[in-house]
Amino acid sequence: MTANSAVIPKDVWSDLEILWDYHDMHHELRESDIGIGLGSHDIGVALYAADLYKKGLYPRIVFSGANAPTTIERFPRGEAVQYREKAIELGVPGEAILIETKSTNTAENFQFTRELLSEQDIHVDSATLISRPYQQRRAYATCKKLWPELTVTCTSLPLPLPDYIEFIGDANRVINMIVGDTQRIIELPQSGYAIPQEMPSEVHDAYERLIQAGYTSRLIK
């Protein structure tokens, strides 16, 4: 473990690893019509979106995201805006990047991105979804509900869990976010915002134990 993750109790760490692996869709990368970078507190989305663009996986990127309570301090000008700036710093041409700056949740990411592409008369059949590592499954489930005809590949900055926690710099934040995303896999299909996802009992049990351990700040009330 890194110095940042070493403070996590062993039982919490074990449960966290179970959820971390569950949220990774383990999709194999392939070329697509567009890359969609989902806004969050994680600048790794912009880093990896830029990297995949330069490797030729897609010809254009849409960064999607306004601000949320978890991102306003890190990205005061907005998630999509600052993702775009970072991608340009890394060598992506500005003309290859579109930004969608209204969305405040994953459903809106896809709704407003789809509207933006339609307004720009850009037709896509496939997309690479770049998100936080533990948002992959929610991104997939939400996209397949709201944009079912789109063929999607889910991916994230490829870091192991200890390195990711060090990259973000806040172990407590990461744990609470992962617990929150797990709850959304359960709850969002009931609200019509995502397709159902199978959740093995060991994943659900790990999720419940982390709630009992007090990691509840990102739960939907």
pLDDT, tens digit, 9 for 90 and up, residues 27-55: 999 999 999 999 999 999 999 999 999 99
Note whether 10 and 54 are same-domain residues: no
Last residue of a domain, one of 107, 122, 155: 155
Note whether 15 and 88 are same-domain residues: no
**pLDDT band at residue 183 under the 50/70/90 scheme:** very high
**pLDDT band at residue 93 under the 50/70/90 scheme:** very high
Residue at 180 is within a domain: yes
Note whether 194 and 141 are same-domain residues: no
Taking residues 166-187, report their average pLDDT.
96
Residue 30 burial (C-beta neighbours within 10 Å; 0-12, 13-18, 19+): exposed
Last residue of a domain, one of 134, 155, 176: 155
Alpha-helical segments (H) within 158-218:
161-168, 171-191, 201-212
- From its phi and psi, is residue 157 left (phi > 0), alpha (psi between -120 and 50) or beta? beta
**pLDDT band at residue 68 under the 50/70/90 scheme:** confident
Residue 120 has pLDDT above 80, yes or no: yes
Taking residues 172-196, report their average pLDDT.
96
Residue at 135 is within a domain: yes
Residue 3 has pLDDT above 70, yes or no: no
Note whether 122 and 206 are same-domain residues: no
pLDDT of residue 1: 53
pLDDT of residue 6: 56
We report the CATH number of the domain holding residue 49 as 3.40.50.620
Note whether 148 and 46 are same-domain residues: yes
Note whether 62 and 119 are same-domain residues: yes
Note whether 92 and 190 are same-domain residues: no
pLDDT tens digit sequence for 105-119: 999 999 999 999 999
Residue at 221 is within a domain: no
Residue 5 has pLDDT above 70, yes or no: no
Note whether 42 and 148 are same-domain residues: yes
Question: What is the residue-averaged pLDDT of the chain?
Answer: 95
Note whether 135 and 191 are same-domain residues: no
Lowest mean pLDDT among 4-8, 46-50, 95-99, 206-210: 4-8
pLDDT of residue 69: 73
Q: What domain range includes position 177?
A: 5-23+160-212
Note whether 39 and 143 are same-domain residues: yes
Last residue of a domain, one of 135, 155, 175: 155
- pLDDT above 90 covers a percentage of the chain that reads 91
pLDDT of residue 76: 82
Q: How many CA atoms lie within 13 A of 213 on its CB side?
A: 20
Note whether 49 and 120 are same-domain residues: yes
Note whether 73 and 170 are same-domain residues: no
Residue at 43 is within a domain: yes
What are the DSSP E strand ranges found in 46-165?
Answer: 61-64, 97-100, 126-130, 151-155
- Total tally of structural domains belonging to the chain: 2
Residue at 48 is within a domain: yes
Residue 138 has pLDDT above 70, yes or no: yes
The contacts of residue 184 (CB under 8 Å, 6+ apart) are 138, 194, 220
pTM (predicted TM-score): 0.94
